Structure 1
Amino acid sequence: MIYFEDLEVGARTEFGSYEVTREEVLEFARKYDPQPFHLSDEEAAKTHFGRIAASGWHSCAMTMAVIARYVVGHEQAGLGSPGIDELRWLKPVYPGDTIHVSGTIVDKTPSRSRPEIGSFRTETVVTNQDGVPVMRFTSIVLIRRRPA
């Protein structure tokens, strides 16, 4: 089990990858972000995207799927997240892309009010198959401290 005390500032984790399919992009867009450039080749061609692109929120969901699978496979004493900071969609994510997710711990802080937990912040970078950054954000994670 990985606890707060095991985390090192500067440590980098490769969480894994996700293959983006056209069917999933369309399904997500129909359900959650039905803007024409996410749904129609013709409409997308009229925009700076040039072709159908995944919703930024879909990119977030795919990234979370990668991170969650990693965390479940590497037992951590995690307690969820109060949020993220500085979310930026840097480049479009297209059907056929493979996104790769990595994170670097930028700081960690023991809780002042709850001595049994701490938090840490991770700069998360999502790149496409060409190594081009497509999304970046800083996640905040709550985690248990090692029991005495």
Structure 2
Amino acid sequence: MLDFAKRFDPQPFHLDEEAGRASIFGGLSASGWYTASLWMRAYADAILVDSTSQGSPGGRELSWLAPVFPGDTLAFGFEVLSARVSKSKPGLGLVEFRGTAHRGDECVFRFVCTGLFSTRD
């Protein structure tokens, strides 16, 4: 978490416990981008590695709903919202999904994204 913050999001409350305590978070907190990268790794391991993934055109509704702290245990979720075959590229499917991260019952991160996948015959 600290190495990520040092390299990609070096805001004081992501790097230093005292600065974190003085912030609105009340303690050292993870970068939201770090939380997103943990979600992405879990998604890649669980779904993408053995899929026909062709990337993604992007997403929307990215929200960091609560700070994540050292020692927190997160559970990652994936919910398919819709799926369709591309009109312009018939061999390509578009899957819209919601990704989430929860700490216990509290959702701390969520977003909506579209994945591109090769279709099966």
Question: What TM-score, normalized to structure 1?
Answer: 0.78
Match of residue 144 from structure 1: 118
For structure 2, the 5+ residue unaligned runs are none
Match of residue 23 from structure 2: 47
Among 39, 45, 63, which residue is 1:88 paired with? Answer: 63
Secondary structure of 1:137's counterpart equals: strand
Match of residue 121 from structure 1: 96
Question: What TM-score, normalized to structure 2?
Answer: 0.94
Stretches (4+) displaced over 3 A:
none
2: distance between equivalents of 1:121 and 1:83? 10
Q: Give the length in aligned residue pairs.
A: 121
For structure 1, the 5+ residue unaligned runs are 1-24
Higher RCO (CA < 8 A, seq sep 6+): 1
Identity of aligned residues (%): 35
> Per-residue deviation at 1:72?
4.7
Match of residue 57 from structure 1: 33
Match of residue 77 from structure 2: 102
Amino acid at match of 1:46: A
2: distance between equivalents of 1:146 and 1:72? 15
Amino acid at match of 2:47: V
